[in-house]
Amino acid sequence: MGKGSGYGKTILIGDQFVLKGVPAIVSSISFKTDAVVERISGRGWILKDNRREVPGYKKSKEEQQKESINRILKVMNIDTDKNPVRITLGGSLLAGSGVGASAAGCVSIARALNDEFKLGLGIDEINRIAWEGEFAYHGTPSGVDNTASCYGGLMLFRLEDGKRVVEKIKVREPIHVVLGNSGISANTAVLDGLVEELNRKDPELHASRLKKISEQVTEVKSALIANDLKKAGGIITDNHKILIDMGLSHEKLVYLCDLAVAEGALGAKLTGGGMGGFMIALTPGKDLQNRVAKAIEDRGFHVIKAQIGN
C-alpha cells in the first residue's frame, strides 16, 4: 500500500495570467488531499473518490480526472495492465474550484504511486509529474497550483522563458484568511479561452491591465513582508475590481467579497481562475476570521478558515 498527500492552495493575486508572464502570490493551506494506492487483481486501475465536495464538482471533473490519472501513470511508466491498482482519495481538502483540488489530487496520487512502486522519486520530480497531470484540467497549466501543493508555504511564482521561478515570502506570523465558496464549479480551460478573447478584442487595454496587475503583485509582496496587511488588503480588493471588469468574476463572488469587507475583512477577491469557485478574504486574527466566516456561513455558503505563510 502506497500513500501520499498534496496541500490545497489559495492565490492572493495574479491568478489567471501567469502564462502571460504575470507573477502570482500563492500559498498552500493546511487542508490536504490524501491518496492511497493498493495492488488489486485484474487489469487497469479503479478510483474510489471519497473527498468531500462542492455539490456536483466531482461529477463535472470526472472525465478530466480520468485523463489526468492516465497521464500520471504514463509519465511514471506504470503499466496497470500488468500492475493493476485501486486509487482511493480522501483527506480534509474540500473538492471544489479555486483551492487547488485538482493539483492536490495530482500531487497525492504521484506520491502514493511513488511510494507503492518504490520508484525513489524526489520532490522536484513529483512536482513535474503532478504538472503533467494538471494538463487534463487546465489545458496548459502554469504549474503554480501543483508547485504550491507539492512544496507548501507562501511564495511568489512566475514564469521566465518557460521556466518556473519561485521566491519564498517570509511573513512575521501566519495570516488568517477566510475562503468562501460560491457553489459554482468553474472550467479553467474555458476561462483561459476568455482571457485570450479579451486580448484579441482590445490588445492595448489587455496589456495595460496585465501591467497593472503585475505592479499590484509586487506591491502586495512588499506589504506582506512589511506586515502592512491593511495595504495588502486594499490592493487585492482593487485587483478584484479589474477582474470584475474583465468578466472573470461572478455575481456570487462579488456578493461574498462585499459581505466580507462589510464585516471587517481588510480585503477580498476571487481566488483561482474565477467565474466560480472560491473567494479569499484577508482576516488577520482569529476573532475577525471567525466573524467573517460566520457571516458567510449564515448566508448558506461553505467556508474554509485557513492560514497562509505557515
Domain co-membership, 301 together with 181: yes
- Provide the mean pLDDT of the chain: 93
Domain co-membership, 15 together with 128: yes
How many structural domains is the chain composed of? 2
Is the per-residue pLDDT at 213 higher than 70? yes
Choose among 297, 309, 296: nearest CA to 257.
296
Is the per-residue pLDDT at 195 higher than 80? no
Structural domain range at position 123 = 2-168
Query: Which grid cell sits at 215?
Result: 505592479
Residue 162's pLDDT is 80
Render pLDDT for 24-35 as a digit per residue (tens, 0 to 9): 999 999 899 999
Domain co-membership, 42 together with 151: yes
- As a whole number, mean pLDDT of residues 86-113 equals 94
Last residue of a domain, one of 168, 198, 222: 168
Q: Above pLDDT 70, what percent of the chain?
A: 98
The contacts of residue 184 (CB under 8 Å, 6+ apart) are: 97, 250, 252, 275, 276, 277
CATH number where 72 lies: 3.30.230.10
Q: Distance between CA 284 and CA 174 in Å, rounded?
A: 9
Helix, strand, coil percentages (3-state) for the chain, rounded to 5, are 45, 25, 30
Q: 47: which strand partners?
A: 87
Residue 253's pLDDT is 96
Render pLDDT for 123-141 as a digit per residue (tens, 0 to 9): 999 999 999 999 999 888 8
Query: Which grid cell sits at 7?
Result: 496541500
Last residue of a domain, one of 122, 142, 168: 168
